[in-house]
Amino acid sequence: MTTLYAMPSTAAMAPHILLREIGAPFDLVLLDRDKAEHKRADYLALNPHGRVPTLVDGDLVLYEAAAICLHLADAHPEARLAPAVGTPERAAFYKWLVYLTNSVQADMLLYFYPERYVEGADAQAAFKRVAEARLNDQFDGLDRALGGREWMLDGGYSAVDPYLFMLCRWTRFMRRPARSLPNLGPYLARVLERPAVKAAFAAEGLAAPYV
């Protein structure tokens, strides 16, 4: 049996959606942040960093959301969530997934947790403004990339799409949320209509606004 350890609306969302897209049976274990369940000894034995998500797939224990997404796409080729290895389409798949996790998601952490990087309220506010400006530039680029496309890759819906959707969701309370951009707005509405996304939101107990 496959088990995904998660918290609602965290980096576990993209793997959670992918598991529902695949349709294979899995257990979802929602950890309680307020009870620090992600710091319990039994969980740290799986993920010594004490973060989510963690995937247990048979004997395999895997963490880092992008790595889990890659594994799920490769382990379930019948779901067609990634292009064939060695193709130009696969290279584009790598490009976008790595960009999302290494650039956009990294700057999200700067925006949401400035206290981890600088001291003092004024310095943290300035730090957050810089991170927000960087994110605005990144989402502008993603919006341009979506021009004339239904999904991020030419070949159709892939593991890149729930990952982008997840990051866009995190902007929903920012001054310029991703949904306000001309291509990302309709794109997010399309993702929201997918049954797997609706099921993941229901399982995580999430309420509007969704993005």
C-alpha closest to that of 10 among 187, 208, 163, 177: 163
What pLDDT score does 38 carry?
Answer: 97
Q: Which residues pair with 54 in a beta bridge?
A: 5, 63
Q: What is the average pLDDT value for the chain, to the nearest integer? A: 97
Mean pLDDT of 28-53: 97
> Smallest Cα–Cα separation from 14: which of 58, 70, 59, 94?
70
Q: How many residues in the chain?
A: 211
- pLDDT for 1: 87
Confidence of residue 163 (pLDDT cuts 50, 70, 90): very high
In the chain, what percentage of residues exceed pLDDT 70? 100
Residue-wise pLDDT tens digits, 74-125: 999 999 999 999 999 999 999 999 999 999 999 999 999 999 999 999 999 9
**Residue 202: its pLDDT value, please?**
97
Say how many C-beta atoms besides its own lie within 10 A of residue 51's C-beta: 18
Task: Note whether 132 and 174 are within 8 A (CB).
Answer: yes
